Structure 1
Amino acid sequence: MGWRRGVAVLALGLAVTGCSGDPGEGAVRESAPPVIVPGGPGEPARTLSGAPSSGVRPSAAPSEADRAYVQMMIAHHQQAVEMTALAPERAADAQVRGLAARIGAAQGPEITAMRGWLERNGLGSGSGGHDHAAMPGMATPEQMAALRAATGGEFDRQFLRLMIAHHEGAVSMATDLLTKGVDVFAQEMAQDVIATQTAEIKRMRAMLGG
């Protein structure tokens, strides 16, 4: 299962636009390389492109909705990565360990990509001052403590339930962004979150037995 050890290829020349008088700022840089995220067993790698899809116009300067989404999703992803890091030593089910490895391998590089986007747009590099506990799907400190204390089958069940809720929260946030955001990268990230995490929710529900 070499995919579990796959390291995402990071290149953060992401598409950005500006609001000054430089006539070249409104165009996407042709040299912007993609962020490649490894897929699961039998699945192709996913690419977060630094340029918009064919036929899509470059976005205007990022909106407040774009900024807030990316900042909040950094914190959201960080908790998911923290949860997945517990699985190798605590999970009993190989499928749970494999799923956790895949999620961690994907979301770590995405955090780096989102931080790069914030920096390139002059918006800092962190998750901002948002109330992270109020974000959809975030596990509470008590739930995280219980997960750290669990082992074997009990860990597997807690992990799957918490990650399903976590993914559902991310999908909700991404769906909301698609109606409010304007930035190409943020839109592509949101679309990828919806597609990938919806599929993973279905897998995790099946692993829980429905």
Structure 2
Amino acid sequence: MRHRITVAGMAVVLAAGVLAACGGVDEPEAAPPRTVLVPGRPGEANRTEVAGPREAAQPTADEVEFVQMMIPHHAQALEMSRLAPDRAFDERVRSLASRIDVSQKAEIAMMKSWLDENPKAVLEAHGENHGGRHADMPGMATPEQMERLEEARGAAFDELYLTLMITHHQGALTMVDDVLDKGTDVPIQQLARDVQSGQAAEIGRMRELLAE
């Protein structure tokens, strides 16, 4: 009798295990850690590393500085472009200015939000004396140039706007070169690529308009 009870008890335990395995769809077991072989440098032995999700890397000080400088850089492009509807002669110049206004306004909003979401990186960047070169931003129009642009009308405005904006865009591309592929933050690296491709294309278009 005792032997039959023991056998029966084992059967119940086994059945419960089978049911648990079948019902484990809702709570899958975590995948065991994996290791990958990483080749060593010449003369060094290979090593193994644990593969799996890692904590996102902290944005670099250069990325923080890029964002903090690009916001006022974009802001001046908006200031210049908002003069076009009342001053430009060529409809194509007005259309270009409108596109710059829309795209860079959206990028400013994204960058301000990013700074709010990364207070630790911003604080550490300031501790490393980054963010203090706003006066050295490449491509920025001088106050005198901005005054001339506000006073210009018609074809004179078109020529001056395109000339200043080409220089302004070239400055942005210089800033992109300083941060692209030198940081760790995915959104900022993607933003840098978007600025690079978008503003390079706009420089080409503006040069075409000036050449006509």
Answer whether TM exceeds 0.5 for this pair: yes
Aligned residues of 2:74 and 2:108 also touching (Cα < 8 A):
yes
> What displacement does 1:93 show?
0.5
CA shift in 2, pair 1:81/1:188, >3 Å: same
Moved over 6 A (4+): none
Give the RMSD, CA atoms, in angstroms: 1.8
Question: How many residues get paired?
Answer: 151
Q: Residues 132 and 138 of structure 1 are in contact (CA less than 8 Å); yes or no, is this contact kept in structure 2?
A: no
Q: In structure 2, what is the equivalent of residue 108 of structure 1? A: 105
Distance 1:132 1:142, change over 3 A: farther
- Gapped runs of 5+ residues in structure 1? 1-56
Q: Which moved more, 1:157-166 or 1:181-190?
A: 181-190
Q: Secondary structure at the match of 1:208?
A: helix
Give the distance between the partners of 1:160 and 1:121, measured in 2 at CA: 35
Distance 1:100 1:141 in 2: 20
Q: State the distance in 2 between where 1:79 and 1:58 align.
A: 37
Match of 1:188 in 2: 190
Deviation at 1:131?
A: 3.8
Name the counterpart of 1:63.
Answer: 60
Q: State the identity as a percent.
A: 52
State the Cα distance separating 1:187 from its structure 2 match.
0.4
Q: State whether residues 181 and 189 of structure 2, in contact with CA within 8 Å, keep that contact through their aligned partners in structure 1.
A: no
Quickly say closer, same or farther: Cα 1:149–1:59, change in 2 above 3 A: farther
Instruction: Report SS of the residue matched to 1:62.
Output: coil
Give how far 1:179 is off. 4.1
Amino acid at match of 1:201: I
Equivalent of 2:93 in 91, 96, 99: 96
Report the AA paired with residue 149 of structure 2: L
2-side partners of 1:133 and 1:89: how far apart?
Answer: 29
| Aligned counterpart in structure 2 of residue 145 of structure 1, from 121, 141, 147 | 147
Larger CA Rg, structure 1 vs 2: 2
The Cα shift of 1:182 comes to 1.7
Between the aligned partners of 1:183 and 1:59, the Cα distance in structure 2 is 8
